[in-house]
C-alpha cells in the first residue's frame, strides 16, 4: 500500500528534529460531514469550560515534560545552590564597606589583606553563581532540544497510524500550529521555566533573608512596596487563565481560516469568490483584534499602577529616604543602607520574571493540550497474530462506515475477483472513495469485514498491507524531491533502471529524459508538471510497488486531453493481471471493466455488466449525466 499512502497523505515527513508540517488529508472525494455547518470544522462550536481547560493545560505541560523531568530537576538543584550563593556578594559588600568606613574614621589606610579577601569572596561567589546558573540553563536547553525532537517524532509516528477519517480541513490549522508553533511555545516552559521561575523565588528569598540579617528595619523598607505591587498585579491577572485560553482559540481560528483559504484558492478564484473567502480570514482576524484590544485596555491602567510600585524612583525614595532617617538616628551604617537599597532594586526583576514565566506557562498550557490531543489521536489497532493473504481476491461483507453521525457506507457487500477490473460508479458523495479507503485500511469499518486473500485487513501487519494494496488518486501529491525519489517512494531501495522501467510503463520516461537533470530533477523547484504528467508519475509509483491489488480513484479526471490517452494506456498496462477497483463519476471512463457497481447514498444499488445495467434507473441516470443517449444502441456499445 505504499503508493496509497504516498498519494493520499502528501509527503511523509522526514524522521528529523526539523520536522515539517505533517500531512493533512481527508477521504479523497467524498465529503466529510463533520465539516458541514460548523464553520472551520466546528472549532468554534467546542463548548469547553475555559477554567477547566486551563487546569488541564498545566497537567498537559507536566505530562509532556515527564521524559526529561530528571534533567529539569538537576537544573533546578543547581539553581537553588546558585540562588543561595547570591547572598554572598551582598554580605561581602557590607563587610567591605565597614572595612573602608572604619579605616576612614580612624584616619588610616584599610588593611589590604582584609580588602583583598573580601573582594575575592565577592568575585568568587558571584562567578560561581553565574557558572551554576548558566550550567542549569544549558542542561534544561539540552533537555528541551531532546524533548522537541521526541515530540515531533512521536507526532509523526502517531499520524501515520491515525485513520484518515480523523483528518479534516479543520485540523489543518491545528496540526500546523501544533508541530511548528506549539513545540516552540513549550520550549519556554522547558528550557527556561523550571530554572528561571525557581531562581526568581530562591534568589529573592535569600536576598530578603540577607537584608533582614543586615538590619530588620532596612529589610522592611526593602519590601515596603512589594505588597502593593502584588495587590494590584493580582487584580490585573484576574481571569488570566480563561482569557489566555480564549486568545489561543481565536488565534487557532485565524490559522485554520488561512489554511482553508490557501487550500481552496484555486476554486474560489475560478468562481470569482476570492473576496468572500478572504472575508472569512479577515473576520477571524478582526474578532481576535477586538477581543485583544478590549482585554489590553481593561488591564492597562491597573498594570501601569502595579509597575509604578516597583519602579526605580519609588524604590529609591522609600529605601534611601527611610534609610537616611535610620542612619541619622545612628541605628544603621551607610554600607548597610546602601546594600539593602541594592537588594530592593534587584527584587522587582525577579517579580517580572515570575510574571513573564507564569504567562508563558499559561500559553504553553493551551499548546500542550493541542499536542496531547494529537498524541492521543485514535490509531488503527495492530494485528495481534499477523497473517499473509492467500491470493488477491477482495471481499467486502456488510460494511458500514460513518463520519460522525452521517453514514457514508451503508451495509455494502461486494467481491472483487482476483485479476478482474471492477468499476465503481456513483454521484459525488455516494460513498465510492470511502469504500476504497476501507480496502486500503485508511480506517476500519464501523461494522462488517474487509478481506484480501481470505484475511481480514485487521489481521494483516502494516508492511504486508503496503505490499498488497496501492492507490492512485485523481490529484496526485508529489514530494518536493527528485522525480526518481517520487517514483521510488514505495520502494526506496529501487535502482535507477527499475525506476525507469516503471516510468516507461507509465508513459512518462521520454518526458523525464528531456528535463535538464533527468530523474534527478526536483519537482516544483526545477520544473512544473502538468496534471497529466504528475498523474503518470503517480502511476509509475504504483507500477514500481507491484502490488496485486490496485485502487484507482478518478485517475484520469484531472488529466488534460493530450495526456488522457497516455494515462489510459499507462493504466491499461498497470492493471494487467491485478485485482482492480476503478472509481469514476462518468460511465465513459470505465470501458473495459469486467463488472460495474453503482453506489448511491452509501449503498450498493446495482451490480452487473454495462448491458445488464441498462435497464437499471440509477445507471441510466449516470449515463444521461455523462451525455450518453441511453436509447442509442451505438452510443451504449462498449465494444
Mean pLDDT by 10 residues, the chain (639 residues): 40 33 34 36 45 79 89 93 88 85 81 88 90 93 90 84 68 68 79 87 89 91 85 72 72 72 54 57 78 72 73 86 91 89 86 78 81 85 89 93 86 92 87 89 91 93 88 79 89 90 89 90 79 86 90 70 70 82 76 85 89 82 68 53
pLDDT value of position 165: 66
Instruction: Say what the pLDDT of residue 293 is.
Output: 77
Same domain, 560 and 438: yes
C-alpha cell at 95: 563587610
pLDDT, position 481: 86
Give yes or no: residues 301 and 409 share one domain.
no
pLDDT score at 445: 92
What torsion do the CA atoms of 537, 538, 542, 543 make, to the nearest 10 degrees? Answer: -20
Q: Are residues 465 and 587 in the same domain?
A: yes
Residue 253, Cβ neighbours under 10 Å: how many?
Answer: 22
296-301 contact pairs (CB < 8 A, 24+): 299/236
State which residues form the domain around 404: 400-636
| pLDDT of res. 237 | 67
Q: What is d(CA 442, CA 471) in angstroms, rounded to the nearest whole number?
A: 11
How much helix, strand and coil, in percent to the nearest 5, is found in the chain? 65, 10, 25
Kindly state whether residue 161 falls inside one of the protein's structural domains. Answer: no
- DSSP helix/strand/coil, 317: helix
437: Cα separation from own chain's centroid: 24
Q: Indicate whether 273 and 410 sit together in one domain.
A: no
Does a structural domain hold residue 124? Answer: no
Asked whether residue 122 is domain-assigned, the answer is no
Q: For residues 305 and 404, state if they share a domain.
A: no
How far CA 104 is from CA of 107, 116, 336, in Å, comes to 5, 17, 16
Residue 216 resides in a domain = no
Cα dihedral across residues 108, 114, 119, 122: positive or negative: negative
- Overall domain count for the chain: 2
Distant-in-sequence, close-in-space partners of 160: CB < 8 Å, separation ≥ 6 = 5, 12
What are the tens digits of pLDDT across the range 138-185? 999 999 989 988 888 888 888 877 876 677 545 666 677 777 777 777
Domain C-terminal end among 309, 327, 342: 309
Q: What's the CATH number where 621 sits?
A: 3.40.50.300
CB 383 within 8 A of CB 461: yes
Of 309, 344, 375, the position where a domain reaches its end is: 309
Q: Are 1 and 471 in contact (CB under 8 A)?
A: yes
Same domain, 455 and 596: yes
Please indicate, yes or no, whether residues 426 and 302 belong to a single structural domain of this protein: no
Taking each helix axis from N to C end, the angle separating 496-505 and 531-545, rounded to the nearest 10 degrees, works out to: 120
* Whether 487 and 632 share a structural domain: yes
Q: Both 284 and 409 in a single domain?
A: no
Instruction: Find out whether 194 and 71 touch, Cβ atoms under 8 Å.
Output: no
**pLDDT in the model for residue 476:** 78
Please count the other Cβ atoms lying within 10 Å of the Cβ belonging to residue 460: 25
For the chain, the maximum distance between any two Cα atoms, rounded to a whole number of angstroms, is 126
What nine digits make up the cell of 556?
A: 484520469
Residues 293 and 430 in one domain: no
404 and 305 inside one domain: no
**Residue 623's pLDDT is what?**
77
466 in the same domain as 614: yes
Out of 309, 335, 359, a domain closes at 309
Supply the pTM of this predicted model.
0.61
Cβ–Cβ contacts within 10 Å for residue 44, how many? Answer: 16
Asked if residue 292 belongs to a domain, the reply is yes
CA–CA gap between residue 11 and residue 27 (Å, rounded) = 16
Asked whether 368 and 61 are in contact (CB, 8 A), the reply is yes
**Three-class DSSP labels, 533-594:** HHHHHHHHHHHHHCCCEEEEECCCCCCCHHHHHHHHHHHHHHCCCCEEEEEECCHHHHCCCC
Q: Considering the domain boundaries, does residue 69 fall inside one?
A: no
549 belongs to a structural domain: yes
Distance CA 294, CA 261 (A): 27
List the grid coordinates of 37.
455547518
In whole angstroms, what is the distance from residue 254 CA to residue 257 CA? 5
Asked if residues 173 and 258 have their Cβ atoms less than 8 Å apart, the reply is: yes
User: How remote is the C-alpha of 410 from its chain's centroid?
Assistant: 33
Q: Is residue 236 part of a domain?
A: yes
Amino acid at each position: 500500500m505504499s503508493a496509497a499512502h504516498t498519494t493520499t497523505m502528501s509527503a511523509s515527513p522526514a524522521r528529523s528534529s526539523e520536522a515539517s508540517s505533517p500531512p493533512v488529508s481527508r477521504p479523497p472525494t467524498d465529503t466529510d460531514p463533520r465539516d458541514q455547518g460548523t464553520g472551520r470544522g466546528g472549532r468554534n462550536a467546542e463548548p469547553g469550560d475555559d477554567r477547566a481547560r486551563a487546569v488541564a493545560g498545566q497537567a498537559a505541560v507536566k505530562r509532556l515534560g515527564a521524559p526529561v523531568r530528571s534533567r529539569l530537576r538537576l537544573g533546578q538543584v543547581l539553581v537553588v545552590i546558585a540562588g543561595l550563593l547570591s547572598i554572598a556578594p551582598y554580605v561581602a559588600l557590607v563587610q567591605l564597606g565597614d572595612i573602608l568606613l572604619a579605616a576612614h574614621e580612624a584616619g588610616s589606610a584599610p588593611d589590604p589583606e582584609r580588602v583583598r579577601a573580601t573582594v575575592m569572596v565577592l568575585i568568587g561567589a558571584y562567578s560561581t553563581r553565574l557558572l551554576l546558573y548558566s550550567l542549569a540553563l544549558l542542561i534544561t536547553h539540552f533537555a528541551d532540544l531532546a524533548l522537541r525532537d521526541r515530540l515531533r517524532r512521536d507526532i509523526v509516528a502517531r499520524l501515520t497510524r491515525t485513520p484518515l477519517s480523523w483528518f479534516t480541513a479543520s485540523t489543518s490549522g491545528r496540526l500546523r500550529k501544533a508541530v511548528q508553533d506549539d513545540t516552540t511555545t513549550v520550549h519556554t516552559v522547558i528550557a527556561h521555566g523550571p530554572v528561571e521561575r525557581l531562581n526568581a523565588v530562591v534568589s529573592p528569598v535569600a536576598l530578603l533573608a540577607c537584608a533582614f540579617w543586615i538590619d530588620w528595619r532596612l529589610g522592611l523598607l526593602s519590601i515596603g512596596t512589594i505588597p502593593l505591587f502584588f495587590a494590584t498585579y493580582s487584580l490585573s491577572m484576574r481571569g488570566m487563565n480563561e482569557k489566555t485560553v480564549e486568545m489561543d482559540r481565536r488565534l487557532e481560528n485565524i490559522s485554520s481560516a488561512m489554511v482553508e483559504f490557501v487550500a481552496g484558492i484555486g476554486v474560489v478564484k475560478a468562481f470569482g469568490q476570492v473576496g468572500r473567502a478572504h472575508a472569512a480570514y479577515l473576520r477571524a482576524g478582526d474578532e481576535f483584534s477586538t477581543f485583544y484590544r478590549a482585554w489590553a485596555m481593561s488591564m492597562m491602567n491597573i498594570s501601569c499602577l502595579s509597575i509604578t510600585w516597583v519602579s526605580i524612583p519609588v524604590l529609591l525614595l522609600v529605601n534611601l529616604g527611610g534609610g537616611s532617617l535610620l542612619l541619622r538616628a545612628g541605628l544603621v551604617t551607610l554600607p548597610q543602607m546602601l546594600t539593602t537599597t541594592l537588594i530592593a532594586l534587584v527584587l522587582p526583576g525577579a517579580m517580572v520574571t515570575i510574571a513573564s514565566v507564569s504567562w508563558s506557562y499559561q500559553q504553553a498550557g493551551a499548546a500542550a493540550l493541542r499536542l496531547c490531543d494529537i498524541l492521543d489521536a485514535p490509531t488503527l489497532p495492530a494485528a495481534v497474530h499477523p497473517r499473509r493473504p492467500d491470493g488477491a481476491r477482495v471481499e467486502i461483507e456488510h460494511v458500514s462506515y460513518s463520519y460522525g453521525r452521517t453514514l457514508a457506507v451503508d451495509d455494502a457487500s461486494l467481491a472483487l475477483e482476483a485479476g478482474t477490473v471492477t468499476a465503481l460508479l456513483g454521484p459525488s458523495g455516494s460513498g465510492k472513495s470511502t469504500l476504497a479507503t476501507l480496502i486500503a485500511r485508511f480506517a476500519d469499518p464501523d461494522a462488517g469485514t474487509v478481506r484480501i486473500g481470505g484475511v481480514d485487513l485487521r489481521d494483516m501487519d502494516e508492511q504486508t498491507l503496503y505490499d498488497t494494496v496501492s492507490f492512485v488518486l485523481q490529484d496526485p501529491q508529489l514530494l518536493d524531491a527528485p522525480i526518481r525519489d517520487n517514483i521510488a517512494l514505495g520502494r526506496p531501495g529501487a535502482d535507477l533502471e527499475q525506476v525507469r522501467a516503471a516510468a516507461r510503463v507509465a508513459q512518462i520516461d521520454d518526458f523525464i529524459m528531456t528535463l535538464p537533470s533527468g530523474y534527478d530533477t526536483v519537482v516544483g523547484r526545477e520544473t512544473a508538471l502538468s496534471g497529466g504528467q504528475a498523474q503518470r508519475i503517480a502511476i509509475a509509483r504504483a507500477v514500481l510497488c507491484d502490488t496485486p491489488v490496485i485502487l484507482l480513484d478518478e485517475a484520469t479526471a484531472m488529466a488534460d486531453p493530450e495526456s488522457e490517452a497516455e494515462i489510459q494506456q499507462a493504466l491499461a498496462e498497470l492493471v494487467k493481471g491485478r485485482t482492480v477497483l476503478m472509481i469514476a463519476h462518468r460511465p465513459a471512463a470505465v470501458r473495459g471493466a469486467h463488472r460495474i457497481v453503482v453506489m448511491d447514498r452509501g449503498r450498493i444499488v446495482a451490480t452487473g455488466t454495462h448491458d445488464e445495467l441498462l435497464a437499471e434507473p440509477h445507471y441510466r441516470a449516470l449515463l444521461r449525466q455523462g451525455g450518453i443517449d441511453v436509447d442509442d444502441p451505438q452510443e451504449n456499445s462498449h465494444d
